[in-house]
């Protein structure tokens, strides 16, 4: 599992530029799929089984990133963000552009030491001395460059959000021997900029029900303990009840909880105060779809170093495998 997660997280594919990660995932799922196709928005749609309920499982392939907007006469690259990039986490970060160029983010001097500068005050230094030497062109996209870090029980990488969800989907697809359903594992595009791929793919599939696989925030580090969000690493995957953009269907929540309890799988009940997942868009297509979400608790979300717990990931795979291997009445 860890080597695959390393391969997934170290692949560069910001929103709208998912071709590289799509090919990595396609190679992994090919032996277990009855059908694979790519739709107009670049979603990788993997079908397993035929007949029965159409169930859609969405995990987004894209990651947050940056895009070059201007190169000044000294070769420094100005940029804007793709998705939810926090300015306070950018200074000193290393990035790599899809064309191969690398650089480090820094900023103009601030009025007061310790102030967090806005993105329009920041630049990427690629080592160039002037505009002609700069290896980056306007419109090129970049993502954080950080190696996968194995801490034993915990794993750290730049794009756990949501390559760990892709991992859960791949491993569940691998583990499911038989299913009474028509399963659609969808590795979606452009989630970080508005859950766009989930919307178009769900419209095409027209599922009877579905759920997303994504990360959720954390509440178990200093300053967060005892506050208004209880999610913790190592206590099992989270079954989402609500987030900032979606209310899970109670029937989906009960199905997930009943399955987890019947199989002895530890789980957490999730009420996320902000943010949302692909389930938000899935819920609203056509005449509506009953949806939920299985979340992986993740520390330091949308930073260059996101952390998950190995057992949470393993138990998420177990839960998803059980959910999709048995009949369901919703």
DSSP-assigned letters across all residues of 162-195: HHHHHHHHHHHHHH----SSEEEEEEES--TTTS
Whose CA is closest to 41, among 256, 222, 182, 195? 195
**Active site includes 261?**
no
Q: How far apart are CA 201 and CA 188, in angstroms?
A: 8
Selected catalytic residue, list 18, 28, 191, 199: 191
Report the C-alpha gap between 31 and 47 in whole angstroms. Answer: 12
What is the Cα–Cα distance from 313 to 290, expressed in whole angstroms?
A: 24
Distance from C-alpha of 189 to C-alpha of 42, rounded to nearest angstrom: 6
Which residue reads 């002609």 in tokens?
Answer: 132
User: Rg of the Cα trace of the chain?
Assistant: 20
Strands 238-242 and 268-271: parallel
Q: In sequence order, what are the residues at sequence separation of 6 or more whose Cβ sits closer than 8 angstroms to the Cβ of residue 255? A: 292, 323, 328, 330
Question: Tokens 């756990």 — which residue?
Answer: 160
Between β-strands 182-188 and 54-60, what pairing exists: parallel, antiparallel or unpaired?
A: parallel
Catalytic amino acids?
191
């Amino acid at each position: 599992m860890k080597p695959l997660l390393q391969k997934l997280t170290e692949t560069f594919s910001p929103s709208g530029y998912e071709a590289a990660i799509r090919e990595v995932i396609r190679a992994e799922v090919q032996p277990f799929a009855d059908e694979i196709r790519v739709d107009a928005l670049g979603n990788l749609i993997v079908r397993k089984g035929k007949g029965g309920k159409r169930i859609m499982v969405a995990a987004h392939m894209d990651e947050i990133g940056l895009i070059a907007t201007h190169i000044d006469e000294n070769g420094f690259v100005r940029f804007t963000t793709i998705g939810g990039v926090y300015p306070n986490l950018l200074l000193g970060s290393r990035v790599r552009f899809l064309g191969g160029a690398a650089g480090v983010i820094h900023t103009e001097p601030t009025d007061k030491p310790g102030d967090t500068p806005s993105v329009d005050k920041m630049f990427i230094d690629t080592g160039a001395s002037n505009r002609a030497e700069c290896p980056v062109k306007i419109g090129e996209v970049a993502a954080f460059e950080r190696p996968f870090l194995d801490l034993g029980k915990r794993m750290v990488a730049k794009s756990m959000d949501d390559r760990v969800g892709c991992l859960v989907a791949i491993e569940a697809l691998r583990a499911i021997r038989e299913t009474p359903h028509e399963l659609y594992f969808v590795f979606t595009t452009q989630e970080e900029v508005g859950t766009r791929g989930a919307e178009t793919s769900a419209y095409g599939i027209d599922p009877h029900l579905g759920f997303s696989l994504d990360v959720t925030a954390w509440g178990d580090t200093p300053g967060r303990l005892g506050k208004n969000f209880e999610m913790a690493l190592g206590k099992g995957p989270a079954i989402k009840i609500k987030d900032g953009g979606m209310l899970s269907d109670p029937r989906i929540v009960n199905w997930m909880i009943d399955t987890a309890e019947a199989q002895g799988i530890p789980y957490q009940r999730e009420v996320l105060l902000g943010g949302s997942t692909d389930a938000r868009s899935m819920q609203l297509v056509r005449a509506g779809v009953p949806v939920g979400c299985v979340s992986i608790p993740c520390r330091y979300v949308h930073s260059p170093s996101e952390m998950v717990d190995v057992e949470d990931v393993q138990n998420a795979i177990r839960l998803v495998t059980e959910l999709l291997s048995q009949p369901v009445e919703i």
